[in-house]
C-alpha cells in the first residue's frame, strides 16, 4: 500500500509539472507514455476499431473481399502489403518493422517470404452510390517456386488476386507460374505494375508483356510504387469493385476449410480457417471430416494483423480458431471442419504436395534423437508440405528421411530447425525419387539411394527418373550460354520464343536430378543474375542410372550413396573422393577413399596415416632391430585400420551438396 501511495504521489507531481513548466501537455503525455508504457505504444492502430468493439455481424458476405498478392521474388509483394495495412489503419504509418507480415527470422535474414500470412483490414469505400464499410482479407504469399504449395492453399480462400510485376524487370518465370495458379482457381486478376519510381522503369513495355503473355487489358493495369506510396489509393477500390464477394451461404450448415496451423506454447495448436458456409461461435462443438474427432472452440477471431478475439466468424470471413487440439498431427491442412451432429459434403481440399527432393536428417549428437523428433513434429505443423519418415543409418544412427518441394525449401527447413528449436542436424545429399524395374517384373521406388541394392539378385532391366518442365526467361544476349548449360544437364528444348526485342522465353524438359542442386546458381552466374527460372513436375522418363557408393577402407558409407546418370558417374565419383580427402581428418592409420559402381572402383584417393618415428630411439646397432620395430608398427597400423572408425565431419556433407 505504501508503494502505491508513493507511486501516486510521484505521478501527481509529474502531472503538476505540466502546468508549472512550459511543456506542451500533449507532448509531455506522449513522452510519458513512451517511457512508462512502451508496450502500449507499440501496439498498432486498428483503424479506430479496438478489438473489443469489432462486430463482424455488420459485415455480410456482400461486404467481404478476400484477395491475395502474387508475384515473382522481390517484386514488392510484402512492401505493397505494408502500404495497404497502413492505408486502412491496421498498422500505424511508419511504425514497426518493414515487411510486417514476414514474421519468421529466416524471412527477415533472407529477404524472402516463406509462409503465407493473412491480415484482416477494414475500409470505407463509396460503393453503388453510398459509403459502405468493407472487410478485406489480405493474403501475402511467397514468390519462390519451392513455396508454390503455400500459394495454392492461400488462393483456395480467395476470390481475387493482385498480380504484381516489377516495372523494371517485367514478367518473370514465377510471374507466369503464379498467374496460371490463380487462373486455374478462377480468380479475378488485377494486374499491378510496381516500382514505377525507378529510373529504369518501363511500364509501357511491361503492359505489352502482360497483354501478349496473359491477354490482360492494358487499361486494367494499375501503376504504383509501394515504396513511395504513388498510385496506391487506386488499389483497394479496384479490389472492391473487380473482385466478387465470397459465394457461401449464411443459412447453410457450417463448413470451414483448414488453411494452415502452427503450435503456440500457451494456446496449443492454432488453426487458420476460411468459413465457406454458415457461422462459427465461441463454445461451438466442431468435428473434423478427415479424422472424425470432435473439439470445442475455446477461442475464435481474426488476424488484425495479430490475433484479435471476436467470438464469431461468419460466411466468407477468414480467421483463426483454438480448439484444444493436443497433437499437431490432428490439424490436417485442407480438412473440412463442421458442427458436430450435422451431415455435410466435405470441401475438395488441396492437391497433396508432391515432394521433389529427399534428404536425410540426423542429430549431430546421437542422444538428441528425441529432441530432434519433437522439433520436427512442431515445425511440420507449421509447414504441412514436408513429409517425414524415420530411418536409420549405419554411419549416422537414427534419423529421418524428409521430402521437400525444392532445395530452397529444404535449406529454409534446416535453418528454421536450428533457429526456432535449437536443433543441430547433419543433412545428407539431396536425392529425387527413382523407379527401378527388375527381370522378375518387380518395381522398386527409391527415395534413399542406400535402399537400392548394389548387387541385386535379379537383373536390372529399366530405370526411370522424374522430369520437370522448366521455364526460363532471360535477356536475349545470354541465349547461347543458357542453351549450352541446358544441354549439359540433359535438357530437351520444347519451346523457344521472344517476349519482346530484349527478352527470350524458353521451355525445357529436364531431369529433376540435374536441377535440384546447383542449376539455378549456375544459371544466375552465366546470365549476370538476370535470368528467372521456374519449373513444374512432369512424367517419369527412361534413363541409364547407376548407384554410386562411397567406401572408406572398403566399407560403404550409406549416407553418402547417390544415384547418377551412367555418363556422369566417373566425373562425379572423382569429385566426391577429392572433396572427402580434403575434409576427413587424418588418423593414425591409412584411409582409402573410393567411389564404386557395384564391385567396380571408378575413383580412389588415399589419406596417408600420421606416422610416429619409432626409430628415433635407435642410435646405431644392428639393422634387424630397426626392421623389427618397423614391422611391429606396420602390424599395429593394420590392426587399427581393421577396427578403427573414421569420423566424417558435417562440412563434408555440405561440400557433397555442391557436386552435381
Q: How far apart are CA 492 and CA 511, in angstroms?
A: 9
Would the annotation count 142 as a binding residue?
Answer: yes
Q: How far apart are CA 628 and CA 204, in angstroms?
A: 87
Strands (E), 428-486: 434-438, 443-446, 460-475
User: Per the structure block, which three cell numbers stand in for 347?
Assistant: 470441401
User: Per the structure block, which three cell numbers stand in for 364?
Assistant: 549431430
Nearest to 299 by CA among 266, 346, 334: 266
Would the annotation count 397 as a binding residue?
Answer: no
Query: Is-cis flag, bond preceding 305, omega within 30?
Result: yes
Would the annotation count 609 as a binding residue?
Answer: no
Would the annotation count 74 as a binding residue?
Answer: yes
Burial 568-606 (b: 16+ CB within 10 A, else e): bbeebbbbbbebbeeebeebebbbebbbbbeeeebbebe
Would the annotation count 131 as a binding residue?
Answer: no
Q: How far apart are CA 235 and CA 121, in angstroms?
A: 14
Q: How far apart are CA 188 and CA 185, in angstroms?
A: 9
Would the annotation count 75 as a binding residue?
Answer: yes
Would the annotation count 141 as a binding residue?
Answer: yes
Q: How far apart are CA 608 and CA 160, in angstroms?
A: 65
Task: Tell me the CA distances in angstroms from 243 to 108, 136, 236, one per residue in order.
Answer: 31, 11, 10
Would the annotation count 339 as a binding residue?
Answer: no
Could you tell me if 165 and 191 are in contact, meaning their C-beta atoms sit under 8 angstroms apart? yes
Would the annotation count 521 as a binding residue?
Answer: no
Q: Using DSSP, state whether 135 is helix, strand or coil.
A: strand
The position carrying cell 518501363 is 202
Ramachandran sector of residue 441 (left: φ over 0; alpha: ψ -120 to 50; beta: rest): left
Nearest to 102 by CA among 148, 141, 152: 141
Would the annotation count 603 as a binding residue?
Answer: no
Would the annotation count 72 as a binding residue?
Answer: yes
Q: Using DSSP, state whether 473 is helix, strand or coil.
A: strand
**β-pair partners for 184:** none
Would the annotation count 143 as a binding residue?
Answer: yes
Would the annotation count 76 as a binding residue?
Answer: yes
Ramachandran sector of residue 40 (left: φ over 0; alpha: ψ -120 to 50; beta: rest): alpha
Question: Per the annotation, where are the binding residues for GTP?
Answer: 71-78, 140-144, 194-197
Question: Per the annotation, where are the binding residues?
Answer: 71-78, 140-144, 194-197
Amino acid at each position: 500500500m505504501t508503494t502505491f501511495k508513493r507511486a501516486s504521489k510521484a505521478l501527481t507531481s509529474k502531472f503538476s509539472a505540466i502546468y508549472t513548466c512550459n511543456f506542451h501537455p500533449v507532448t509531455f503525455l506522449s513522452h510519458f507514455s513512451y517511457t512508462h508504457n512502451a508496450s502500449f505504444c507499440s501496439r498498432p492502430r486498428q483503424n479506430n476499431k479496438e478489438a473489443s468493439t469489432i462486430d463482424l455481424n455488420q459485415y455480410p458476405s456482400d461486404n467481404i473481399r478476400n484477395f491475395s498478392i502474387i508475384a515473382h521474388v522481390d517484386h514488392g509483394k510484402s512492401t505493397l502489403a505494408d502500404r495497404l495495412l497502413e492505408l486502412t489503419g491496421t498498422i500505424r504509418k511508419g511504425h514497426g518493422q518493414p515487411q510486417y507480415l514476414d514474421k519468421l527470422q529466416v524471412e527477415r535474414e533472407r529477404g524472402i517470404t516463406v509462409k503465407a500470412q493473412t491480415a484482416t483490414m477494414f475500409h470505407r469505400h463509396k460503393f453503388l452510390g453510398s459509403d459502405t464499410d468493407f472487410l478485406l482479407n489480405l493474403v501475402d504469399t511467397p514468390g519462390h517456386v519451392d513455396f508454390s504449395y503455400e500459394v495454392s492453399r492461400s488462393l483456395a480462400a480467395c476470390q481475387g488476386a493482385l498480380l504484381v510485376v516489377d516495372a523494371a524487370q517485367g514478367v518473370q518465370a514465377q510471374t507466369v507460374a503464379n498467374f496460371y495458379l490463380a487462373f486455374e482457381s478462377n480468380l479475378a486478376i488485377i494486374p499491378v505494375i510496381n516500382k514505377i519510381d525507378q529510373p529504369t522503369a518501363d511500364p509501357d513495355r511491361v503492359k505489352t508483356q502482360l497483354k501478349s503473355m496473359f491477354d490482360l487489358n492494358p487499361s486494367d493495369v494499375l501503376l504504383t510504387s509501394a515504396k513511395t506510396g504513388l498510385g496506391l489509393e487506386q488499389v483497394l477500390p479496384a479490389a472492391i469493385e473487380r473482385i466478387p464477394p465470397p459465394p457461401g451461404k449464411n443459412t447453410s450448415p457450417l463448413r470451414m476449410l483448414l488453411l494452415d496451423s502452427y503450435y503456440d506454447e500457451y494456446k496449443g495448436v492454432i488453426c487458420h480457417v476460411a468459413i465457406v458456409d454458415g457461422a462459427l461461435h465461441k463454445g461451438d462443438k466442431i468435428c473434423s471430416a478427415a479424422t472424425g474427432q470432435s473439439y470445442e472452440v475455446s477461442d475464435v477471431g481474426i488476424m488484425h494483423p495479430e490475433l484479435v478475439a471476436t467470438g464469431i466468424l461468419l460466411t466468407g470471413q477468414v480467421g483463426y480458431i483454438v480448439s484444444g487440439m493436443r497433437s499437431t498431427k490432428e490439424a490436417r491442412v485442407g480438412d473440412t471442419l463442421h458442427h458436430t451432429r450435422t451431415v455435410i459434403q466435405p470441401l475438395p481440399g488441396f492437391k497433396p504436395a508432391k515432394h521433389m527432393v529427399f534428404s536425410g536428417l540426423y542429430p549431430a549428437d546421437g542422444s538428441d534423437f528425441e529432441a530432434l523428433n519433437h522439433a520436427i513434429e512442431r515445425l511440420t505443423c507449421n509447414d504441412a508440405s514436408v513429409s517425414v519418415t524415420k530411418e536409420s543409418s549405419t554411419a549416422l544412427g537414427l534419423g529421418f528421411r524428409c521430402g521437400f518441394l525444392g532445395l530452397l525449401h529444404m535449406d529454409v527447413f534446416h535453418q528454421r530447425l536450428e533457429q526456432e528449436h535449437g536443433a543441430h542436424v547433419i543433412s545428407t545429399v539431396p536425392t529425387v525419387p527413382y523407379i527401378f524395374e527388375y527381370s522378375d517384373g518387380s518395381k522398386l521406388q527409391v527415395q534413399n539411394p542406400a535402399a537400392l541394392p548394389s548387387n541385386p539378385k535379379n537383373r536390372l532391366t529399366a530405370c526411370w527418373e522424374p522430369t520437370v518442365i522448366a521455364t526460363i526467361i532471360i535477356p536475349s544476349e545470354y541465349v547461347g550460354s543458357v542453351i549450352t548449360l541446358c544441354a549439359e544437364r540433359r535438357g530437351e528444348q520444347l519451346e523457344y520464343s521472344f517476349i519482346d526485342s530484349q527478352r527470350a522465353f524458353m521451355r525445357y524438359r529436364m531431369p529433376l536430378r540435374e536441377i535440384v542442386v546447383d542449376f539455378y546458381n549456375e544459371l544466375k552466374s552465366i546470365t549476370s543474375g538476370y535470368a528467372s527460372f521456374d519449373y513444374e513436375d512432369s512424367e517419369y522418363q527412361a534413363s541409364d542410372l547407376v548407384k554410386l557408393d562411397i567406401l572408406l577402407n572398403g566399407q560403404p558409407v550409406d549416407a553418402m550413396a547417390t544415384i547418377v546418370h551412367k555418363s556422369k558417374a566417373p566425373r562425379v565419383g572423382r569429385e566426391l573422393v577429392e572433396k572427402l580427402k580434403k575434409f576427413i581428418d587424418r588418423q593414425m592409420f591409412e584411409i582409402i577413399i573410393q567411389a564404386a559402381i557395384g564391385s567396380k572402383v571408378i575413383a580412389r584417393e588415399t589419406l596417408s596415416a600420421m606416422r610416429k618415428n619409432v626409430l628415433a630411439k635407435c642410435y646405431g646397432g644392428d639393422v634387424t632391430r630397426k626392421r623389427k620395430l618397423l614391422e611391429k608398427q606396420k602390424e599395429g597400423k593394420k590392426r587399427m585400420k581393421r577396427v578403427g572408425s573414421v569420423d566424417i565431419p558435417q562440412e563434408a556433407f555440405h561440400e557433397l551438396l555442391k557436386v552435381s
